Amino acid sequence: MSDAKATVAAAPKPPVFDPAFQQKFAELIAWRRDVRRFRPDRVDPALIEHLLDLAQLAPSVGNSQPWRFVSVDSPAMRTKVRNNFLRCNETAAGAYQGERAALYARLKLEGIDVAPRQFALFCDRATEQGQGVGRQTMPEALDYSVVAMIETFWLAARALGLGVGWVSILDPQTVTVDLDVPPDWKFIGYLCVGWPVEEHVDPELVRHNWQDRTRAGREVLQR
């Protein structure tokens, strides 16, 4: 048998995603929430390793896999990140007035003080993996690849019952300096991971009257 025929013969059979799976997948997407309220309970390291393995299957431009995880574990470093958030959040609060300002002050926007696992996510913009395919005209596709990986990680965590919260109210340069990462790494986001205190199908910002979902992103322009 030729090598080509052997390769075809050895190819795995594609899975069948039946209607029951499709429904469950739709529920998974609906119940993926940005979690801010965590229990302090330990997360089995094997679960985290499993999530990290699944995350490697996420799409990336040129198969570059430019994401870089930094596990933030020490109390001292978490305090630095939390103080970074507090400074940035105070500045952000100043953009609102009146009732909107009062509502913003009541929002729970992070879980850094409790979440048992925390990761800073960076994009390695100097990576040679992928040989530049797909990013010659849009180098920011590397950043988008990290975001796609985060969504993969997020859904996989939700399937295991874990919650993930994405903290974006941070100064990127301060995070980069504090974590002492290579200068070619761009900060993308900070993830809090753990067991959620509560389960909700509606986003917290909807539940607390900040912003309802709309159809703005559902409209498709025809050209």
pLDDT in tens, 186-201: 999 999 999 999 999 9
Q: Which CATH superfamily is domain 34-207 in?
A: NADH Oxidase (3.40.109.10)
**pTM value?**
0.91
Per-residue pLDDT for the chain (223 aa), expressed as one digit of tens each? 455 555 556 778 899 999 999 999 999 999 999 999 999 999 999 999 999 999 999 999 999 999 999 999 999 999 999 999 999 999 999 999 999 999 999 999 999 999 999 999 999 999 999 999 999 999 999 999 999 999 999 999 999 999 999 999 999 999 999 999 998 999 999 999 999 999 999 999 999 999 999 999 999 999 9
pLDDT in tens, 41-78: 999 999 999 999 999 999 999 999 999 999 999 999 99
Three-state SS letters, the chain: CCHHHHHHHHCCCCCCCCHHHHHHHHHHHHHCCECCCECCCCCCHHHHHHHHHHHCCCCCHHHCCCEEEEECCCHHHHHHHHHHHHHHHHHHHCCCCHHHHHHHHHCCCCCCCCCCEEEEEEEECCCCCCCCCCCCCCCCHHHHHHHHHHHHHHHHHHHCCCEEEEECCCCHHHHHHHHCCCCCEEEEEEEEEECECCCCCCCHHHHCCCCCCCCCCCCCCCC
